[in-house]
Structure 1
Amino acid sequence: MSKVSMIANAVQRSLGTMFPGYFSGTTKRNHYADFGYPEAISFDMFWQMYQRTGYGKAAVERYVGKTWEDLPSLQTDEKTREMNKVEQALFDRFRDLRAWPKIVEADRRSLVGKYSAIILRLADGQGMDKPVGRVNGLDGLIEIIPAWEGQLTISDWYSDINDENYGKPKMFQFNEQGVGSDNKQKVRNFNVHPDRVIVWSNDGTVHADNFLSAGFNDLISIEKIIGAGGEGFWKNAKAGLFLEIDKEANIEAMAKAMQVSPGELAEAMDDQVNDFQTGIDAYLLMQGMTAKNQQITLPSPEHFILAPVQSFAASVSMPTKILTGMQSGERASSEDQEDWEKTISSRRDRETVPNIMELVNRLVQFRVLPEEDWSIDWPELGEASPAEKIARADKMADINVKHMNAGGAAPVFDGNEVREAAGYEPVEGVDDIEDDTDTGPPDSEEDDDQ
């Protein structure tokens, strides 16, 4: 190789070092390293992001709050809203165990990790690490324990490819102190057989995608912008001083004036500046020095924070105004509300309802619940309030009256349609709503005689 070629290669390697990714022969840039993003994200990092950032917390809570806007009810008969004895017994037992709040908590925790779980404590005479034995009725359900991913880990897997459970957890390990370990009262630690665990995730497995993963880098960017803005504001408010010493300054004369030795002058000046800033001294003794305020100029953070906020909102399929609330003074549009309700309705159908039914099926399997055709009755999102339903029924009745007064042969809405609009069950034999007002001419006596 010629000397010229060697020099050219050396220059190219130098440029590649200074500007990686822009010159041939160099490797692709690592954007995660460039922008300070982690290449791998653990559950603890997701949990901290949920616990310590407003947007991470808001996204999870908005999803959970809207999904569980109303509590569902489990029923065996879809034809009536009245609870039968079996449904009433289940309702009472769930109320005593605070089952629905714990199920909601499991759903919340599933949005922070890849999965969460519901652990069933049953009166079956077996240890938690054993398959479930016989359970007699609802009293056999002792407790429902919601668990974070960080509390419930897989200690053993089915590894035989010929086993029908191949690739599934064979044993779980529950450690109550695995998350938020500063709470010393969380002392439960035991192995759990899969029979007693309902995995709660968007696909029913422990391998689900994490809800916050796509927007995790955006949350870091938001945290940096908020932190930098707060730090800059604090430093400007603190208004620190720095001293500029003139080259002609007489250090010995200044030390003598402050009644300290030249070696103690720096410490004495530091004490004087601190006393000045705290309001103890009203003056600074400076000979050959100039005191200046330290000022930090920061651009307005809202211009920079909007992009990661919008990107994070997109990552969780949530309108930005729903995520941020009304911080900007504007309410979410009706289109945003409708789109948001469709997103949550879809989540209910694809994720939440299957998870609830897995719990129900497991309770039926263990004879906690009787074998019935169980289903879920859950009010539709965006359903009108009772007052709105009554107002709608009142308008329908008013339309009927006006229609009949205008000569209509029959009312526009029958009685059961009005009842359903008001939120009541239809009733058999209800006549059409008619107007009894006779608007025609009175019958003559001749007509009566005829």
Structure 2
Amino acid sequence: MNPIAMIVNAARRLDALLPGYFPETKHQHAKDFGWPDDVRFEDALRMYRRHSIARAGVNKTVLKTWQDFPALWETEKAGNTKAETEIAKHFRRIGLWRALAEADRRAIVGGYAGVILRFADGKAFDQPVGVVPGGLEGLVEAVPVWCNQLAVADWIDDASSDAYGQPKSFTFNEAAIGGTAGRSFTVHPDRVLIWSADGTVAPRSDLEPGYNDLLDMEKVKGAGGEGFWKNAKSSPVLEVDKEAKIAEMARAMGVPEDEVADAMNDQVEEWQKGFDKLLMLQGMQAKTLNVTLPSPEHFHSIPLLSFAASLGIPAKILIGSQTGERASTEDADEWDRTCNARRENIAKPRIKALADRLVRFRVLPDRDWFVGWSDLTEASPGEKIDRAVKMASINQTQRDEPAFTATEIREQAGFEGKAPAPYYDEADLQGPPDDPDKKDE
């Protein structure tokens, strides 16, 4: 047996005897394909800022989820009570919902984000919050921050505490995101709302599963652009004939023989800058080296579809394609359901946690507040009217009794309850007045 075969067989035996001890060396995908072993926050942030598809995936998710703003209700249905109206007005004035939407955006990129709450309680940020005077006016501002700007400084390690394993304090560093100077201070957990899928600082970036796909799209797009640029640039390849007289060329150029190459480089550079330049060759032949490029669309679409799947967003929604009405409608319905689920599983629990905290601080009245939000899957007003028209049309085709009641049709049209009774004036109910000139027959 040759030495190479002996080494291979020995390695196989060792791997079988000690499984998992020897690393897999046959395929190192990250190294072979140019993918990172780990995706850091800086990598995800760069992708969001510089990659158009990554930015579209994040922004479209946030814009659809926060298509309209939620509200706090005293019951499971909106009652338009005085408290609800005052809360909505104050939250709108301080921009609370916009701050939470921005925190959602930053959490998608970084895994989690923070919302620093500023109260008018006269205490420093590193102090716990007690009873905030002024009610609603006690909540002054909500500031969204990136995860890299807000780190856990200390943890509660008392096993007997109900808050065991929770952050004891945070450190805010404003300059952690592309800044040279900024504020830096300690923040008490009472003044921080962590926005993430589970309310902790553990989740990873939503861009991480599709990060390799984003890199592949960059490679295809960059290679295609570079290839077309090289073809358009048409840099000549100079082939020197064996009979070329370099000394005569040097004299013609007015340079020493050892500087002919530099002079030719300068001449080619000047020739490429304009079409009317002279390229002086003596004993040389200029040829162009073209790059043959396949169509990049197929190679670009594969990682595009894979990245769209990693975010759960239909590819047509992600890139804005509207090919085929039926396909687009189905994609839009699926996207509505996905973002509805984000509201229920991520946004609403964090808003409810904030409301409970504000109740504890006496910023909100002591209620079991409900988070009210519209249903993204609900039909539009036009679709409701069309549905009601179709139901009324079906009723007209029935011979015996209508297939739908008036109440059912009204509900499908977006109205609740029975149709209001027609208005009658009291005089109409009494009938026409008697004609004094008319005699009984």
TM-score by length of 2: 0.85
| Map of 1:92 onto structure 2 | 89
* Letter paired with 1:74: L
Between the aligned partners of 1:195 and 1:377, the Cα distance in structure 2 is 24
* Letter paired with 2:210: G
| Map of 2:132 onto structure 1 | 135
Deviation at 1:289, TM superposition (A): 0.2
Between the aligned partners of 1:367 and 1:66, the Cα distance in structure 2 is 32
> Paired residue for 2:240, among 237, 245, 261?
245
**1:129–1:11 distance in 2 versus 1, CA, 3 Å:** closer
* Letter paired with 1:413: T
Deviation at 1:53, TM superposition (A): 0.8
3-state SS, counterpart of residue 41 of structure 1: coil
> Paired residue for 2:173, among 175, 189, 196?
175
| Map of 2:16 onto structure 1 | none
| Map of 2:147 onto structure 1 | 149
> Paired residue for 1:267, among 247, 262, 266?
262
3-state SS, counterpart of residue 87 of structure 1: helix
| Map of 1:22 onto structure 2 | none
* Letter paired with 1:102: A
CA contact (8 A) 2:155 2:166 kept: yes
Q: Which moved more, 1:154-163 or 1:353-362?
A: 154-163
1:264-289 CA distance string (max 9 Å, x none): 32222222212211117432211100
Quick check: 1:412 aligned with 2:404?
yes
| Map of 2:117 onto structure 1 | 120
Deviation at 1:228, TM superposition (A): 1.1
How do 1:23-42 and structure 2 match up within 5 A? Answer: 27-28=24-25, 29-42=27-40
3-state SS, counterpart of residue 110 of structure 2: coil
Report the RMSD for the aligned CA atoms in angstroms: 2.7
| Map of 1:209 onto structure 2 | 204
> Paired residue for 1:423, among 402, 411, 414?
414
Between the aligned partners of 1:159 and 1:26, the Cα distance in structure 2 is 37
How do 1:321-340 and structure 2 match up within 5 A? Answer: 321-326=316-321, 329=323, 332-340=327-335
Between the aligned partners of 1:254 and 1:292, the Cα distance in structure 2 is 19
* Letter paired with 1:90: I
Deviation at 1:294, TM superposition (A): 2.6
The alignment covers a number of residue pairs equal to 409
| Map of 1:448 onto structure 2 | none
**1:431–1:88 distance in 2 versus 1, CA, 3 Å:** same
| Map of 2:50 onto structure 1 | 52
3-state SS, counterpart of residue 37 of structure 2: coil
| Map of 1:83 onto structure 2 | 80
3-state SS, counterpart of residue 191 of structure 1: strand
Deviation at 1:191, TM superposition (A): 0.9
Deviation at 1:364, TM superposition (A): 1.0
Between the aligned partners of 2:99 and 2:3, the Cα distance in structure 1 is 70
TM-score by length of 1: 0.83
Between the aligned partners of 1:411 and 1:300, the Cα distance in structure 2 is 57
CA contact (8 A) 2:337 2:377 kept: no
CA contact (8 A) 2:340 2:377 kept: no
Quick check: 1:371 aligned with 2:366?
yes
Between the aligned partners of 1:258 and 1:291, the Cα distance in structure 2 is 18
Between the aligned partners of 1:409 and 1:303, the Cα distance in structure 2 is 58
* Letter paired with 1:310: L
| Map of 1:282 onto structure 2 | 277
Quick check: 1:199 aligned with 2:194?
yes
Quick check: 1:349 aligned with 2:344?
yes
**1:57–1:250 distance in 2 versus 1, CA, 3 Å:** same
| Map of 1:164 onto structure 2 | 162
3-state SS, counterpart of residue 148 of structure 2: coil
Which structure 1 segments of 5+ residues have no match? Answer: 15-24, 433-450
Deviation at 1:244, TM superposition (A): 1.0
How do 1:390-405 and structure 2 match up within 5 A? Answer: 390-397=385-392, 399=394, 402=396
Between the aligned partners of 1:34 and 1:387, the Cα distance in structure 2 is 54
1:146-187 CA distance string (max 9 Å, x none): 1111111111112233332222211111122222327x6xx3
Deviation at 1:367, TM superposition (A): 0.8
CA contact (8 A) 1:219 1:312 kept: yes
3-state SS, counterpart of residue 169 of structure 2: strand
Quick check: 1:101 aligned with 2:98?
yes
Between the aligned partners of 2:159 and 2:255, the Cα distance in structure 1 is 83
3-state SS, counterpart of residue 117 of structure 2: strand
1:46-99 CA distance string (max 9 Å, x none): 1111111122112111211221222222211345x4511101111110111111
Between the aligned partners of 1:252 and 1:174, the Cα distance in structure 2 is 70
CA contact (8 A) 1:396 1:413 kept: no
CA contact (8 A) 1:275 1:281 kept: no
Between the aligned partners of 1:227 and 1:333, the Cα distance in structure 2 is 30
* Letter paired with 2:405: F
**1:27–1:391 distance in 2 versus 1, CA, 3 Å:** closer
**1:5–1:71 distance in 2 versus 1, CA, 3 Å:** same
* Letter paired with 1:112: V
CA contact (8 A) 2:60 2:318 kept: yes
> Paired residue for 2:69, among 68, 71, 74?
71
Deviation at 1:339, TM superposition (A): 2.5
Between the aligned partners of 2:208 and 2:30, the Cα distance in structure 1 is 14
* Letter paired with 1:192: V
1:342-371 CA distance string (max 9 Å, x none): 222222211111111111111111111001
Between the aligned partners of 1:221 and 1:110, the Cα distance in structure 2 is 24
